[in-house]
Amino acid sequence: AQSVAQPEDQVNVAEGNPLTVKCTYSVSGNPYLFWYVQYPNRGLQFLLKYITGDNLVKGSYGFEAEFNKSQTSFHLKKPSALVSDSALYFCAVRPFENYGQNFVFGPGTRLSVLP
């Protein structure tokens, strides 16, 4: 069965500093990997995804993520954090091969960017 771990419940970073939100996954076969962000009282918004190809994926709002197959990780990064990036971030995985399998989301990481 597939699973996603986000080892940090909370990440604090100062505005202007680089940020990393960690994600590791377990799935049989090749994965599709996604990052979503949730602002208070809002639905999830898609940030970026890894399907195949280049391990570094660029997404919305200056975010990027690096797929590392050997470490089964897909960490979300941004070179310079903004206060407005403060939100709840979810990593999700879906196996490549099976239409019957659906998204499994990680528990979420709350990012606080301090001014």
The answer to whether 34 contacts other proteins (rule: CB under 8 A) is yes
Per DSSP, 64 falls in state E
- CA dist., res. 1 & res. 67, Å (int): 20
* Number of C-beta neighbours around residue 99 at 10 A: 7
Can residue 104 be called a binding residue for other proteins (CB under 8 A)? yes
Residue closer to other proteins by CB (options 65, 106) is: 106
Looking at 46, 58, 69, 71, which residue binds other proteins (CB under 8 A)?
46
> Footprint of other proteins on this chain (CB under 8 A)?
32, 34, 36, 41-46, 49, 51, 90, 94-96, 98-108
